[in-house]
């Protein structure tokens, strides 16, 4: 069973991210994202995550580098995980788009200072918090082009 999530960050265009199919529980995702951001920095980590087109990621895990989907469907990104090649939207999703999505259970947002926020989209409190964060117009943003 998959725990689907949104993983992204604060940009000048708002909170943008990509769909991630597996391992979306905070116990698993938070340490992974913190390790990636500590290793590469917030800007580089977010650029790499957002660069996944056509559906986002099968999984984010720097220690897991296997492709059970085949080269025609997905590619391993060293130090990040497995990103899809064959389905989904080309443009990143916005946090506002996924808040009400019944299939996306968690959202993770990399902040400009390198922190990682978690929103439980299955709870009313988590959805309310995510809604409040979805418009970062007054916040410092990451320089993602």
Tens of pLDDT along 121-145? Answer: 999 989 988 988 886 654 554 454 4
Q: Is residue 125 part of a domain?
A: no
Nearest CA to 118 out of 53, 43, 39, 24 is that of: 24
pTM of the predicted structure, to 2 decimals? 0.90
Q: Is residue 143 part of a domain?
A: no
DSSP states along 112-137? TTS-EEEEETTSHHHHHHHHHHS--T
Q: Is residue 81 part of a domain?
A: yes
Phi first, then psi: what are they for 95, rounded to 5°? -60, -40
Q: Is residue 19 part of a domain?
A: yes
Q: Is residue 127 part of a domain?
A: no
* CA 33 to each of CA 36, 68, 71, 108, 131: distance values in angstroms, whole numbers, following the listed order: 5, 22, 25, 9, 21
Q: What is the pLDDT along the chain (145 residues), one digit of tens a residue?
A: 589 999 999 988 889 999 999 999 999 999 999 999 999 999 999 999 999 877 899 999 999 989 999 998 999 999 999 999 877 778 899 999 999 888 999 999 999 889 999 999 999 989 988 988 886 654 554 454 4
Average pLDDT along the chain: 89
Q: Is residue 18 part of a domain?
A: yes
Are the beta carbons of 122 and 111 closer than 8 angstroms? no
Question: What's the confidence (pLDDT) of residue 87?
Answer: 74
Question: What's the confidence (pLDDT) of residue 141?
Answer: 47
Question: What's the confidence (pLDDT) of residue 99?
Answer: 92
Q: Is residue 62 part of a domain?
A: yes
Q: What is the total count of domains within the chain? A: 1
Question: What's the confidence (pLDDT) of residue 140?
Answer: 52
* Structural domain boundaries enclosing 27: 8-120
User: What Rg value do the Cα atoms of the chain yield, rounded?
Assistant: 14
């Amino acid at each position: 069973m998959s725990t689907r999530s949104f993983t992204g960050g604060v940009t000048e265009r708002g909170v943008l991210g990509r769909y991630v199919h597996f391992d979306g529980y905070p116990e698993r995702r938070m340490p992974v994202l913190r390790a990636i951001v500590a290793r590469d920095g917030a800007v580089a980590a977010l650029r790499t995550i957002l660069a996944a087109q056509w559906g986002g990621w099968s999984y984010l895990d720097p220690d897991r580098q296997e492709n059970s989907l085949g080269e025609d469907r997905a590619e391993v990104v060293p130090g990040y995980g497995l990103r899809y090649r064959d389905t989904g939207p080309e443009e990143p999703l916005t946090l506002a788009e996924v808040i009400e999505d019944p299939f996306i259970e968690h959202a993770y947002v990399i902040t400009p200072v390198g922190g990682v926020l978690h929103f439980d989209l299955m709870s009313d409190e988590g959805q309310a918090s995510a809604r409040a964060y979805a418009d970062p117009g007054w916040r410092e943003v990451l320089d993602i082009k």
